[in-house]
A and B are shown apart, each in its own frame.
Chain A
């Protein structure tokens, strides 16, 4: 499933992430996943939220550097080799993954992973063709 991810620039100082989550919370925006990537100097918070358009506007208005990116969320069966099967399909299709992370929570033994590629539609189609959603 193609979804919209919010990316926010984080300065390397205590409390930056909490400022972002407080802002979303104050506006009743439910976060489904958060992933942090960082260097020694700064970082990125990648957030999957319910109303990403609204969320990114709120953050921008508050002076954060924030943007939306299309990513693909895929259900990974909670069994040995579940993720491997998916990665093999992506590799065979020659699709390059820039980064990936897991969504909070699982349903009926299925964990959700978020994949970022150059072309979210192509990845979604490739996996759908193999019955993976």
Chain B
């Protein structure tokens, strides 16, 4: 029997979800118009007033909010409630210029924690469980979000925060943790340590909830096979409250977006037009419930796909696929979307350095893509045939990942140009 934290909402018929979203959108736009002069000015600039927004079908009329807007408004420019109603902030760890501060009323926090509770229940969590939270606590949303969610579920919560692996493993063993919540990279490290220290038989994990970073299916399968538990993805942005914007169910095939609180769209990052479900594009969210920090049409820059097909878990909320990359980085080569992050994943997997350079060009009306890759000790040999063999494997892996042929050029270590210590990743000669 599938269990839900808020069954009625999580399994609501789609028509009702849309009706609810329409009602909330109308209210939220009015709220922003009345209380956020910055957003009101943006609406006025495109000649839209709250009267023009009667439901989600009018969403496309509204202006977008970008990270630049948030920077412009820092710190209080987007705040829609008086400070007396605000009870907390969380923030991104970014450098000062890029820092985002998100404000919460007590209601905002309750909704955020409920969203995380939905994720924990979808991963099989109950009040009987022991949830070990080793996301960072403090300004970062990871610790606070999963901590609050575990409380709402009624599970016993271990507020470990990040780091101190000896202590993490000690508590995991002694208190018989059943659900682990942390970043996927730390989960992979803990998995490795559990094996290395011979603790596999002493660990009782049944599920892991891993987010805040991109991770691959291979990582998931490695951890699941090693520890015999299920690893679930969770997604969120500090701007939208934190983790729990969407989460995976037992199907592990896309993350259900909490649509009663977040209205999702996919847009073409170039034309800014809405795209139909099932098309890759940039994910845009409207926070329907956030009262202190009501973001409308916030451009996440994350590229993914939305899937509104019914899910076997019974949840009716739309699912978002794994993130494919950042829209700022997206290249279109021979009509195919290519993300440097995809190339990076393959390079690291094949033992090459993440220091690479992509050159895109156009020859005789056809796009070309070349990748400069630095030789590493791991792939070096005194035998030319061995080097060529590994190079061919790399080309094949890139083809499998991207769907197009990439020309690889092996170059000497540390030979790829860096500007201010950071490599220039992409040179698109078509634009020059």
User: Which residue numbers of A lie inside 8 Å of B, CB to CB?
Assistant: 5, 7, 9, 11, 16, 37-39, 41-44, 46, 63-65, 67, 69, 98-99, 116
Q: Are B384 and A64 in contact (CB under 8 A)?
A: no
Binds A, one of B96-104, B278-286, B375-383: B375-383
Enumerate chain B residues within 8 angstroms of A64, measured Cβ to Cβ. 412-413
Q: Are B377 and A39 in contact (CB under 8 A)?
A: no
- With A9-B375, A11-B415, A42-B411 known, 12 other A-B pairs at CB within 8 A are A7-B382, A9-B380, A9-B410, A9-B413, A11-B411, A11-B412, A16-B412, A39-B384, A39-B388, A43-B384, A46-B382, A116-B383
Enumerate chain A residues within 8 angstroms of B387, measured Cβ to Cβ. 42, 44
- B418 contacts A by Cβ under 8 Å: no
Q: B372-401 interface mask toward A, CB cutoff 8 Å, 1 = contact, 0 = none?
A: 000111001111100110000000000000
- B61 contacts A by Cβ under 8 Å: no
Q: Provide the main secondary structure of the chain B interface.
A: loop
A sample of 25 inter-chain contacts (CB < 8 A) reads A5-B382, A7-B380, A7-B382, A9-B375, A9-B380, A9-B410, A9-B412, A9-B413, A11-B412, A11-B415, A37-B384, A39-B388, A41-B410, A42-B411, A46-B382, A63-B412, A63-B414, A65-B376, A65-B380, A65-B413, A67-B377, A67-B380, A98-B383, A116-B382, A116-B383
Enumerate chain A residues within 8 angstroms of B382, measured Cβ to Cβ. 5, 7, 44, 46, 67, 69, 116
Min Cβ gap A12→B in Å is: 9
Q: Provide the main secondary structure of the chain A interface.
A: strand
Q: Are A63 and B413 in contact (CB under 8 A)?
A: yes
Min Cβ gap A101→B in Å is: 12
* Nearest neighbor of A16 in chain B, beta-carbon distance: B412
Enumerate chain A residues within 8 angstroms of B375, measured Cβ to Cβ. 9, 65
Q: Are A65 and B384 in contact (CB under 8 A)?
A: no
- Which interface residue of A9, A11, A38, A46 has the most chain B CB atoms within 10 A? A9
Enumerate chain B residues within 8 angstroms of A9, measured Cβ to Cβ. 375, 380, 410, 412-413
Enumerate chain A residues within 8 angstroms of B376, measured Cβ to Cβ. 65
* Nearest neighbor of B374 in chain A, beta-carbon distance: A65
- Which interface residue of A65, A67, A99 has the most chain B CB atoms within 10 A? A65
Min Cβ gap A37→B in Å is: 5
Instruction: Name the one of A11, A39, A41, A99 contacting B383, with C-beta atoms under 8 angstroms.
Output: A99
Min Cβ gap B181→A in Å is: 42
Q: How far is the CA of A39 from the CA of B410 in the complex (A)?
A: 11
Q: Are A42 and B383 in contact (CB under 8 A)?
A: no
Top 3 A-B pairs, shortest CB-CB distance: A7-B382, A65-B375, A69-B382
Q: Are A41 and B409 in contact (CB under 8 A)?
A: yes
Min Cβ gap B413→A in Å is: 5
Min Cβ gap B369→A in Å is: 16
Q: How far is the CA of A98 from the CA of B383 in the complex (A)?
A: 8
Q: How far is the CA of A116 from the CA of B409 in the complex (A)?
A: 27
Min Cβ gap A114→B in Å is: 11
Min Cβ gap A16→B in Å is: 8
Instruction: Name the one of B384, B411, B414, B415 contacting A44, with C-beta atoms under 8 angstroms.
Output: B384
Q: B398-432 interface mask toward A, CB cutoff 8 Å, 1 = contact, 0 = none?
A: 00000000000111111100000000000000000
Q: How far is the CA of A5 from the CA of B410 in the complex (A)?
A: 22
Enumerate chain A residues within 8 angstroms of B377, measured Cβ to Cβ. 65, 67
Min Cβ gap A8→B in Å is: 9
Min Cβ gap B316→A in Å is: 54
Enumerate chain A residues within 8 angstroms of B409, measured Cβ to Cβ. 41
Enumerate chain B residues within 8 angstroms of A7, measured Cβ to Cβ. 380-382
Enumerate chain A residues within 8 angstroms of B388, measured Cβ to Cβ. 39
Q: How far is the CA of A9 from the CA of B380 in the complex (A)?
A: 8
